[in-house]
């Protein structure tokens, strides 16, 4: 019976590059499942998005998107050519920013530092709606 | 007794840069161990390779290798100087593309999106044979 | 009762960029908790550091810091402007080098390859003392 506590959650990220803070979404998931001690796994089931732990609301989310524009330019260099111009970069992104992230959970709380937020990083402007899977493994 | 379900699997990656799709290898491992719900951990026990989740067969594997050639050029800049020229880059690679990857498993299936593949990324041309460790943690 | 085996450990990284080898720290944690088979999760509760698996002591730690200086330059481009000049780069770092790392543990031992070390990567020169959380999930 049972199986693992796991849920898919839908998000609207819109038609521009986005860093979306999922910290509250993750905390609410843990509460809903009465999760106590273990590991939370976040997973993005998309080939053009990733998960990052950064500070939000102090410019670093913007800085990340700027850095990614330099590291993976949205120009004509990419072999993969579907979608908007430069979209091939979005398919390389998950190699650098993994779609998998595991976070320790202690007494029902994410073991985050003061300035850490759990974020979806989505440079793909063609897919305005995204999904994140949250799974809890008890310790 | 017991212990965790874990196996090392050997792969031939050859003497050129390679992105090797391991999705089927991972699915077969889960089947072999009758794994139902939990987390699959993939681990590459090498200092010059990593694991990425990308789409394969549509140019993005090539695009990833191209991007890595730009981000970590195979020239004489590296302090680490064993092996083929520029091989020092291969030793920085795992910092950007981690050798560890955890994937949720639900009812025996990898919770992958339609376009996601689990891939070994190996820029090291000096080691034609590689190993991947698969481990399953029940939820 | 119960709960997961988890500890926070304090490190002095000093006031320059640093790659700190935590392999022995992790092995000692496993021994202290008599951990046998499962997954070790390492977590850095900081917004300006990450965890990488690389070879240490053969130049690659220096090479990694050099590569990061090129990929995320310490100049005036960053929106986030607190701290030392160029400090905004440190806040982008965890998106590329994740603060979370999971390592398989077999019969009490980290399943590392010969040349792999578990490392803290800390480019932030303003915080000389750092914390790493180690948690063990039995398989």
pLDDT in tens, B96-108: 999 999 999 999 9
Q: What is the pLDDT of residue A3?
A: 73
Cα of A37 to nearest chain C Cα, Å: 5
Class of domain B5-138: mainly beta
In chain B, how long is the greatest CA-to-CA distance? 50
Crossing angle, helix A60-71 and helix A88-96, to 10 degrees? 120
| Chain A contacts in chain C segment 22-51 (CB below 8 A) | 39, 41, 43-47
Say whether pLDDT at A37 is over 90.
Answer: yes
Average pLDDT over residues C85-90: 92
Put simply, the answer to whether C53 touches B78 (Cβ < 8 Å) is: no
Q: What is the pLDDT of residue C81?
A: 83
Q: Which helix (H) or strand (E) holds C63?
A: helix C60-71
| Chain C contacts in chain B segment 92-111 (CB below 8 A) | 92, 94-96, 98-100, 102
Cα of B103 to nearest chain A Cα, Å: 7
**Alpha-carbon gap, residue B86 to B70, rounded angstroms:** 12
Q: Is some CB atom of chain B closer than 8 A to the CB atom of C55? A: yes
Put simply, the answer to whether C53 touches B94 (Cβ < 8 Å) is: yes
Q: Which residues of A touch C80 (CB under 8 A)?
A: 55, 58-60, 63
Average pLDDT, chain C: 95
Say whether pLDDT at B10 is over 60.
Answer: yes
Q: What is the pLDDT of residue B8?
A: 98
Say whether pLDDT at A1 is over 70.
Answer: no
Crossing angle, helix C88-96 and helix A60-71, to 10 degrees? 60
Say whether pLDDT at B1 is over 50.
Answer: no
Q: What is the pLDDT of residue B123?
A: 94
Q: What is the pLDDT of residue C53?
A: 98
Average pLDDT over residues B119-123: 97
CATH topology of domain C5-38+47-134: Jelly Rolls (2.60.120)
Q: What percent of chain A has pLDDT over 90?
A: 88
Say whether pLDDT at B2 is over 90.
Answer: no
Predicted TM-score (pTM) of this structure: 0.97
Q: Residues B19-77: pLDDT tens digits?
A: 999 999 999 999 999 999 999 999 999 999 999 999 999 999 999 999 999 999 999 99
Q: Which residues of C touch A102 (CB under 8 A)?
A: 41, 100, 102
Say whether pLDDT at C85 is over 90.
Answer: no
Say whether pLDDT at A100 is over 70.
Answer: yes
Residues 6+ apart with CB under 8 A from A126: A15, A83, A84, A87
Average pLDDT over residues C38-47: 98
Hey, is C136 helix, strand or coil?
A: strand
Lowest mean pLDDT among A50-64, B75-89, C38-52: B75-89
Put simply, the answer to whether A96 touches B98 (Cβ < 8 Å) is: no
Backbone angles phi, psi at C94, to 5 degrees: -65, -15
**Residue A83 banded pLDDT, cuts 50, 70, 90:** confident
Could you name the CATH architecture of A10-123? Sandwich (2.60)
Show the beta-strand stretches assigned E in C64-128. Answer: 100-106, 109-110, 117-122
Q: Which residues of A touch C69 (CB under 8 A)?
A: none
Average pLDDT, chain A: 95
Show the beta-strand stretches assigned E in A46-116. Answer: 50-54, 100-106, 109-110
Q: How many CB atoms lie within 10 A of CB C77?
A: 14
Say whether pLDDT at A133 is over 90.
Answer: yes
Say whether pLDDT at A20 is over 80.
Answer: yes
């Amino acid at each position: 019976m049972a199986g693992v506590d796991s849920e898919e959650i839908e998000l609207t990220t819109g038609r521009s590059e986005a860093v979306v803070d999922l910290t509250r979404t993750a905390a609410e998931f843990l509460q809903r499942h009465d999760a106590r001690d273990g590991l939370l796994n976040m997973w993005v089931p998309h080939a053009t998005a990733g998960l990052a732990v950064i500070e939000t609301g102090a410019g670093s989310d913007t800085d990340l998107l700027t850095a990614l524009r330099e590291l993976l330019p949205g120009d004509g260099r990419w072999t993969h050519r579907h979608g908007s111009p430069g979209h091939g970069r979005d398919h390389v992104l998950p190699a650098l920013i993994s779609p998998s992230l595991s976070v320790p959970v202690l007494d029902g709380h994410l073991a985050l530092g003061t300035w850490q937020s759990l974020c979806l990083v989505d440079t793909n402007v063609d897919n305005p709606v995204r999904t994140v899977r949250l799974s809890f493994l008890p310790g």
